[in-house]
Amino acid sequence: MARLPSAGASSGRRRRFSWLTALVWLAGGLVYLFLILPVFVIVLSAFSPEAYPQFPPAGFSLKWFSALLGSREWLDALWISVLLLIIVTPVTVVLGTLAAYAIARLDFRGRQALQSFMLSPLMIPQVVLGIGLLYVFTSTGLVGSLTGLAIGHVIVAFPYVIRSVGVSAANLDPRLEQASMSLGAGRVRTFFRITLPLLKPGIIAGAVFSAVTSFGEVSISLFVSAPSTVTIPVRIFNYIDQTFDPAVNAVSVIFILLAVIALMMIEKVIGLTKVM
């Protein structure tokens, strides 16, 4: 007859499991602390009344946020970034949605190669893309123009829409579209009445990723921008090259808020685990 484990052995296993659990939680907590600490330092330093970043701040002040609102250079850079976001987001959403749906539905030779080509900006260093676009735009007269910046941002943000919409398209049951067409709806009506609503979570997630990517893009913008088309990230890059005061931290707080809002929107609409 098999012997039952003694009470001492069972309690020993429970103790070892408890210690292991505690170590896992401790390691996880340290990782999260390592990730959140820089953000915490930047946010608190943005409210420092001193003329240089200080942590912990000696007091509380909104002077650096007021300085941003009162600076013509910062407001112009913010306007360029917002204008690019307004242009790039709908363009990438329309093109990316159509491309992702075509790749998911059509069966043709070279489909995987085409998909890899569309996603290639995710794997190519953006510095390399910036240098390439600099040569191309120099020969076409687009260097320093808003059109050139928009094209560069579309190239960078386009793969995120492909990836997000592709997830929704892969989970789309084609029998729903077939049922719609069998009941008399044409392909166009089926696409707008059946397909697009089912792709909506991926489209929204792709739009958010595209907007955030365009708003924070620096590498390509640094190569193809001009003094009249400086974006917020390029302005930050040039600003800290000359001086470093909490105004940069105040801009960083705005970026952090936008990123948090974007993540909350994606989590609410589709869930981060489905697009990450």
For Cα atoms 128, 131, 135, give the angle at the middle one, nearest 5 degrees.
Answer: 140
* pLDDT per position as a tens digit, 81-118: 889 889 999 999 999 888 888 888 777 787 788 888 88
> Using an 8 Å Cβ cutoff, are 159 and 118 in contact?
yes
CA–CA dist 36, 71 (Å, integer): 30
Q: Which residue has the higher pLDDT, 161 or 251?
A: 161
Q: Span 71-274: which CATH code?
A: 1.10.3720.10
Determine the average pLDDT of the residues in 191-219: 83
Determine the average pLDDT of the residues in 188-195: 79
Q: Which residue has the higher pLDDT, 258 or 160?
A: 160
* pLDDT per position as a tens digit, 138-169: 888 888 888 888 998 999 989 988 888 888 88
> Which amino acid is residue 232, in one-letter code?
I
Helix 146-170 vs helix 196-216: crossing angle, to nearest 10: 140
**pTM of structure:** 0.75
pLDDT-derived band of residue 33, with 50, 70 and 90 as boundaries?
A: confident
CA distances from 133 to 85, 117, 143, 179 (A): 19, 17, 9, 46
Residues 39-71: b if buried by 16+ CB within 10 A, e if exposed: eeebebbbbbeeeebeeebeeeeeebbeebeee
Of all residues in the chain, the percent with pLDDT exceeding 70 is 85
Helix 111-119 vs helix 72-105: crossing angle, to nearest 10: 170
Cβ atoms < 10 Å from Cβ of 180: 18
Domain ranges of the chain: 71-274
Q: How far apart are the first and last CA of the chain?
A: 52
